[in-house]
C-alpha cells in the first residue's frame, strides 16, 4: 500500500513533502547567506548586524513551542502552516516600508515569530506520514538541499550582476512559492485530542533528555560564526558574491549526498555515534575556516564537512526527539528541539560571534565556535539511552 497512510496515494504525499522542503530551503538559500551582506550594504555596523541576525534565532526560543502547542491541540496542521507562511510573506513584504534600525528590527521580530513555526510543524507532519518508514526522511529532506543550492547559487549570480538592492524582492518571490507549496500537502485525519492532556515535560524527568537538549543548544551555539558571519568573513577574504554562493553550494551538495545515504547510516550506526562524529568534525571545520579561509581548497574541505556538522547532526537529532516524544506531542517535541537548539543556542551564538568579530576578528570568532563544538562532542559522550 506504499510508505504512507493506506488511504492515501503512496507517491503524491512523497512528492508534496519533497516539494515543500525544496521551496522552504530555496527561501533559506536566498535569504540566509546574503542577509548579513544586505545589512552591511544598508550601512549597519557589526554589532547592529549581529543584533538583527539574532532576532530570528531568538524568536525561535519561544514561538515554535507556541505554534506546536496549537498544532498538537487542534490537529489541523495544514491550515496553520498556510496561515504562518502567508503571514510571514506579508510581514516581509512590509519590510519595504521599514526605515531605520528600530523599524527593521520590529518587522523582523514579527516575521521571525511567524516563520519559526513552519518547519517544526512540517517536520512532525512528515514523520507522521512516514510512520514506520521514518528512515526514508532523508530521501525527502534531500530535496530541501537541492532547493537551497539552486537558490544560493542563482541568487548569488543575480546579486553580483544587479546588486543587493534586489535582495528583498528575491526573498519575497521564494516566500510566495513556499506558501503555494503548502496547499499541496495532504490533509491529516483529525485525531482524538484527549491524549493532548498529558504534559510533555514529564520526559525531562530522565536526566539523559536534559543532557540531550544541552547538546543541541551547544552545537547550535558553536555554529554562530558560520550562521551569522561566514559570508561577511569570506567577503573580507576577497571572495566575490558568486564565489560565496558557490562555497555555500558546496556545503549543500555534500548534504544532498549525505541525505541520500542517511537511511543506510541510521541502520548501521547509532544516533549517538553519528552525533559525536558530527560534533568533532564541526570542531575541525571551524578551525579550518577560521585560519585557512584564504585557501579555496581548504575552504572547500571545510564546507564539505557540512554534510555531517549540519546534515547528519540534524537528522540524528530529530530522530532522537521522535523516539522520546509521543504521537500527540510530536509537534511540541520538534518545537522544543528548534527552540533550545536553533533558537536559544543559535541566537546566543550569533550575538557572541558579533562581539567576537568586533573585538578579536574573524579567525578567533571561528575558533570560539570550534571550542563549543568540542564541548558538544564531550557532552555527547555522557548522554545515556536517549542517543542509543
- At 137-150, the pLDDT tens digits run 777 888 888 898 89
Say how far apart CA 248 and CA 232 lie, in whole Å: 13
Q: Residue 100: pLDDT above 70?
A: yes
Instruction: Give the pLDDT mean for 124-139.
Output: 72
What's the pTM? 0.74
Q: Could you tell me the fold of the domain covering 13-189+205-380?
A: Growth Hormone; Chain: A; (1.20.1250)
Backbone CA torsion sign across 255, 256, 257, 259 = positive
Q: Residues for the chain: how many in total?
A: 388
Say how far apart CA 92 and CA 286 lie, in whole Å: 32
Q: How confident is the model at residue 280 (pLDDT cuts 50, 70, 90)?
A: very high
- Lowest mean per-residue pLDDT among 196-205, 315-324, 325-334: 196-205
Q: Residue 7: pLDDT above 60?
A: no
Give one word for 98, left, alpha or beta, with left for phi > 0 and alpha for psi -120 to 50: beta
* Alpha helices, H only, the chain: 12-42, 46-59, 63-74, 77-94, 101-115, 118-130, 137-162, 167-182, 207-222, 224-236, 241-268, 271-292, 296-304, 306, 313-324, 330-337, 346-360, 362-380
Provide the 3-class DSSP secondary structure of residue 307. Answer: helix
Say how far apart CA 284 and CA 275 lie, in whole Å: 15
C-alpha cell at 98: 521599514
220 neighbors 341 (Cβ within 8 angstroms)? yes
Listed in sequence order, the residues at least 6 apart from 99 whose beta carbon sits closer than 8 Å to its beta carbon are: none
Say how far apart CA 215 and CA 114 lie, in whole Å: 26
Tell me the pLDDT tens digit for each residue of 29-76: 899 888 988 988 988 887 888 888 888 888 888 888 788 778 777 766
Q: Residue 169: pLDDT above 50?
A: yes
Q: Residue 355: pLDDT above 60?
A: yes
Listed in sequence order, the residues at least 6 apart from 173 whose beta carbon sits closer than 8 Å to its beta carbon are: 30
Share of the chain above pLDDT 70, in %: 86
Give the closest residue to 127 by CA, choosing from 252, 268, 4, 303.
4
Domains of the chain, by residue range, sit at 13-189+205-380
- Lowest mean per-residue pLDDT among 68-77, 223-232, 281-290, 301-310: 68-77
Amino acid at each position: 500500500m506504499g510508505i504512507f497512510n493506506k488511504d492515501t496515494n503512496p507517491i503524491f504525499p512523497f512528492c508534496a513533502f519533497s516539494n515543500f522542503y525544496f521551496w522552504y530551503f530555496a527561501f533559506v538559500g536566498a535569504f540566509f547567506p546574503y542577509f548579513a551582506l544586505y545589512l552591511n550594504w544598508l550601512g549597519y555596523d557589526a554589532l547592529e548586524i549581529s543584533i538583527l541576525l539574532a532576532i530570528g534565532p531568538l524568536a525561535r526560543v519561544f514561538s515554535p513551542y507556541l505554534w506546536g502547542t496549537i498544532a498538537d491541540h487542534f490537529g489541523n496542521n495544514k491550515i496553520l502552516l498556510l496561515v504562518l507562511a502567508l503571514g510571514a510573506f506579508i510581514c516581509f513584504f512590509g519590510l519595504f516600508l521599514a526605515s531605520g534600525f528600530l523599524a527593521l528590527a520590529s518587522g523582523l521580530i514579527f516575521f521571525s515569530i511567524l516563520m519559526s513555526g513552519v518547519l517544526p510543524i512540517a517536520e512532525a507532519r512528515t514523520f507522521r506520514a512516514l510512520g514506520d518508514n521514518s528512515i526514508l526522511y532523508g530521501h525527502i529532506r534531500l530535496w530541501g538541499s537541492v532547493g537551497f543550492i539552486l537558490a544560493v547559487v542563482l541568487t548569488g549570480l543575480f546579486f553580483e550582476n544587479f546588486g543587493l538592492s534586489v535582495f528583498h524582492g528575491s526573498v519575497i518571490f521564494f516566500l510566495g512559492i513556499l506558501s503555494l507549496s503548502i496547499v499541496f500537502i495532504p490533509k491529516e485525519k483529525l485525531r482524538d485530542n484527549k491524549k493532548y492532556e498529558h504534559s510533555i515535560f514529564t520526559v525531562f524527568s530522565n536526566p539523559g533528555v536534559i543532557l540531550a537538549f544541552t547538546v543541541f543548544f551547544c552545537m547550535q551555539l558553536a555554529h554562530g560564526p558560520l550562521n551569522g558571519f561566514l559570508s561577511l568573513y569570506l567577503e573580507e577574504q576577497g571572495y566575490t558574491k558568486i564565489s560565496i554562493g558557490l562555497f555555500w553550494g558546496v556545503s549543500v551538495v555534500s548534504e544532498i549526498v549525505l541525505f541520500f545515504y542517511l537511511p543506510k547510516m541510521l541502520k548501521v550506526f547509532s544516533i549517538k555515534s553519528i552525533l559525536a562524529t558530527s560534533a568533532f568534525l564541526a570542531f575541525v571545520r571551524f578551525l579550518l575556516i577560521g585560519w585557512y579561509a584564504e585557501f579555496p581548497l581548504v575552504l572547500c574541505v571545510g564546507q564539505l564537512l557540512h554534510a555531517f556538522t549540519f546534515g547528519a547532526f540534524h537528522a540524528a537529532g530529530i530522530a532522537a526527539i521522535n523516539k522520546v516524544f509521543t504521537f500527540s506531542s510530536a509537534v511540541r517535541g520538534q518545537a522544543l528541539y528548534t527552540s533550545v537548539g536553533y533558537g536559544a543556542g543559535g541566537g546566543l551564538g550569533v550575538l557572541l560571534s558579533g562581539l567576537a568579530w568586533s573585538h578579536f576578528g574573524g579567525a578567533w570568532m571561528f575558533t570560539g565556535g570550534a571550542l563549543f563544538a568540542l564541548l558538544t562532542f564531550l557532552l555527547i559522550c555522557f548522554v545515556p539511552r536517549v542517543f542509543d
